[in-house]
Each structure stands twice: as structure tokens, then as C-alpha cells.
């Protein structure tokens, strides 16, 4: 079966000029088909834009980047095979995957080969497994949930919460992290509603949350499911604040949900509407190239490309072990590496930290209500 997938479905494309011996090969392994295609395509396009700019600025250590692209099909076992294929083709660093259920499987392959890997996944388990080659491009949910729970309790006065969550590796991680914060802030969980990946009908879930007596609904689903939930909530006139962590209020969700997204709010690590000049300029270049507004996944991909350039030039070679060693405990400032857009730090586990935002969707776009400090 796996051989068939490799032979018929995997897409491998060299995205730059024909390689030379000195080209720096980067493996981009993301969800270009299947239920994660919206998130994966954003991440891939961010990576492509980042490396096109890197090449235009002279490449890495004077050598051009050759980007090799692979489709994980949103299937953990296919993603594992694609990581092995990228390694066999001599990649220096891997970017992706986005879905946590894939990353927890494929990162073991990269680890065994000593290949640094930048993931857009948020499940806490990814940086808790002691893998010295994995690095996040956004917060794990164990870093984001304390920020959103604090805002809900202290700024919104919420006491009773209905939680709707994806019963996947991604969702379980976020669910566990939120429930820890619920204990700290004394939230009463009045409805606890797990859902399935690629679920299409949320009518029963919305009704359960609506009738729960909650002050607010906390929604932790991936992008396409979030949009379906918001449309159903509008249909049933749910009448409750709907709060999430990044994947409820992203640009792709707003595009898919239309005016049903208005009023949704939550914490985001990255937003095209942050009001930060470097982010706004990147967003303008992205929209000019791809003709759509980048979501947080695109910004994750873009910043991973520039991080790879800047850290490689700090160590002065394409030594994978030296790269991984340098990343641990590193703070990369926007002043020394403008492509990272914001000052960013990584700890000894590959977890990252930086400022983030609490936003509400108004008129079809995110409006920043508060800038939240690093934690």
C-alpha cells in the first residue's frame, strides 16, 4: 500500500532552478491534499515566499536554496514516508508538517537521521518527547492556553464554559492544556463535546453547547471544522461568545465561514492584522504573489525559512548537528534577522516564546484587542 502511495500519489517537485552540487536542499512536507489541505497550503506558500526572498538576497552562505516539496495527504503514515524520501534526497532541514497527528509520527524519522525539523503543529507532546531536532514555528497549546484562559477569566469574567474540541492528537493536546487552566481559573465545564476530524455536521454539538448554561463556548477545532461550527452556530443563533486558540479566528476560517465568523474571538500567536510593519509588509508581498490573505500557518512557514537562513549563517556551515545545537536556548531578534518578523526565543525542548495577540473578528477581519506578553 505504501509503495503504491509513493508511486502514484506523492508529489515531489523541485521548485527552483535545476540544482547544482552546492545547492542547499530543504524538504517541505505538508498537507497539500486531504482534510489538512487549507492549513498545509498556507504553510507551504509561506515557506516558498520566504525562500524565494532568501535566494533573491543571495541564498544561504552564498548558495541557492532548492526547495523539495512533498504532499503528506494529511495521512501520518504517508507523511512518515515523505520525510524518509526527503532524507534520502539529501535535505539539510525539513519544514512541516502542520497536523500534530502526522508530526508525532514523522519527526521520529527525522530525529533518527539527525535532521532539524520546523513544525507548525501545536500538540504539547511534540516538544515533550525529548527530540533535540524538533522546533516549533508557533506556540504549543500548553503555551497559548494560559494566555487565553487568563484573558477569559480576568478581562471577560467568564465562569461557565462549554468546550467543543477535536478528538485528534492536535485536539487532545489543546483540550488537556485548556482543562489544566480551567482548574486554575475555576471555570465550571458545563458541556464537554469531542468531535471527529473532517466532521461535517455540527448541529447536535452546537445545540448541546447552546443549552448548557455556559457563559461562553471554547472551540478547539482545525480550520475547516471551525468554519463549519461557526456557520451552524449562526444558523442556530447560539447567542454565546465563541472563543478559541488560533484555529477559530484565522484568515482561512474567516474566508470559509463568511459573516458567521464575525464576533468569534481568541488568542493568536501570529496575525496578518497585528499592526507590526514587518508583518504587514510580508502580508502585502504574500497577497501580491498568491492573491489571498495569509493565515497564521503561512506566517509560520515564512518565518521558518528565514530562521533557517539566519541560524545557518550564524554557525557558518550546513552542519545539521551544529544547527540543532544552536537553536536550543536561542533568541533571534527581528533586528538581526528581519525575516523572523518578531523577536523569538526557543528553549531546550524546541518550544518557542514571543509576544502574541487576543483578537476578535469584526467585519471579516481580525481586530487586535490586546497584545499579550511572552510566557
Q: At what angle do helices 169-185 and 100-113 cross, to 10 degrees?
A: 110
- Asked if pLDDT for residue 47 goes beyond 50, the answer is yes
Q: Are 113 and 36 in contact (CB under 8 A)?
A: no
The per-residue pLDDT for 141 is 85
Q: Show Cβ contacts of residue 301 under 8 Å, excluding neighbours closer than 6 positions.
A: 42, 43, 44, 45, 46, 47, 48, 50, 95, 120, 137
HSE toward the beta carbon, residue 166, CA cutoff 13 A: 29
The confidence band for 272, taking pLDDT boundaries of 50, 70 and 90, is confident
Work out the average pLDDT over 340-365.
94
Q: At what angle do helices 76-88 and 100-113 cross, to 10 degrees?
A: 30
Q: What are phi and psi of 197, to 5 degrees?
A: -60, 135
Higher confidence at residue 289 or residue 251?
289
- Asked if pLDDT for residue 191 goes beyond 60, the answer is yes
The per-residue pLDDT for 138 is 86
- Asked if pLDDT for residue 74 goes beyond 50, the answer is yes
* One fold for 24-139+275-354 and 142-268: yes
| CATH architecture, domain 24-139+275-354 | 3-Layer(aba) Sandwich (3.40)
The per-residue pLDDT for 7 is 43
Domain boundaries, the chain: 24-139+275-354, 142-268
The per-residue pLDDT for 296 is 87
Rg (CA), the chain: 20
Work out the average pLDDT over 149-177.
94
The per-residue pLDDT for 5 is 41
CATH number belonging to domain 142-268: 3.40.50.2300
pTM: 0.84
Amino acid at each position: 500500500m505504501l509503495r503504491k502511495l509513493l508511486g502514484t500519489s506523492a508529489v515531489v517537485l523541485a521548485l527552483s532552478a535545476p540544482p547544482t552540487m552546492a545547492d542547499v536542499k530543504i524538504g517541505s512536507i505538508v498537507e497539500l491534499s486531504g482534510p489538512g489541505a487549507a492549513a498545509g497550503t498556507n504553510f507551504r506558500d509561506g515557506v516558498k515566499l520566504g525562500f524565494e526572498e532568501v535566494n533573491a538576497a543571495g541564498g544561504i552562505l552564498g548558495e541557492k536554496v532548492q526547495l523539495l516539496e512533498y504532499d503528506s495527504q494529511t495521512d501520518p503514515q504517508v507523511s512518515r514516508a515523505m520525510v524518509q524520501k526527503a532524507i534520502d534526497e539529501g535535505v539539510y532541514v525539513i519544514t512541516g508538517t502542520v497536523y500534530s497527528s502526522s508530526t508525532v509520527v514523522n519527526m521520529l524519522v527525522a530525529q533518527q537521521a539527525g535532521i532539524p525539523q520546523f513544525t507548525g503543529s501545536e500538540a504539547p507532546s511534540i516538544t515533550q518527547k525529548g527530540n533535540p531536532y524538533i522546533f516549533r514555528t508557533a506556540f504549543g497549546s500548553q503555551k497559548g492556553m494560559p494566555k487565553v484562559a487568563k484573558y477569559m477569566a480576568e478581562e471577560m469574567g467568564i465562569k461557565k464554559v462549554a468546550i467543543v474540541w477535536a478528538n485528534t492528537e492536535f485536539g487532545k493536546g489543546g483540550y488537556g492544556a485548556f482543562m489544566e487552566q480551567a482548574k486554575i481559573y475555576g471555570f465550571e465545564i458545563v458541556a464537554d463535546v469531542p468531535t471527529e476530524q473532517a466532521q461535517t455536521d455540527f448541529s447536535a454539538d452546537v445545540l448541546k453547547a447552546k443549552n448548557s448554561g455556559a457563559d461562553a463556548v471554547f472551540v478547539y477545532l482545525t480550520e475547516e471544522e471551525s468554519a463549519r461550527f461557526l456557520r451552524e452556530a449562526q444558523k442556530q443563533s447560539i447567542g454565546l461568545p465563541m472563543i478559541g486558540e488560533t484555529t477559530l479566528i484565522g484568515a482561512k476560517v474567516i474566508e470559509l465561514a463568511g459573516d458567521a465568523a464575525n464576533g468569534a474571538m481568541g488568542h493568536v500567536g501570529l496575525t496578518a492584522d497585528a499592526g507590526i510593519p514587518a508583518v504587514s509588509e510580508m502580508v502585502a508581498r504574500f497577497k501580491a504573489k498568491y492573491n489571498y490573505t495569509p493565515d497564521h500557518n503561512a506566517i509560520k512557514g515564512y518565518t521558518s525559512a528565514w530562521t533557517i537562513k539566519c541560524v545557518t549563517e550564524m554557525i557558518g556551515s550546513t552542519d545539521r548537528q551544529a544547527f540543532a545545537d544552536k537553536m536550543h536556548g536561542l533568541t533571534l531578534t527581528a533586528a538581526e534577522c528581519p525575516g523572523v518578523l518578531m523577536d523569538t526565543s526557543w528553549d531546550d525542548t524546541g518550544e518557542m516564546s514571543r509576544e502574541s495577540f487576543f483578537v476578535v473578528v469584526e467585519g471579516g477581519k481580525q481586530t487586535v484587542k490586546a497584545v499579550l506578553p511572552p510566557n
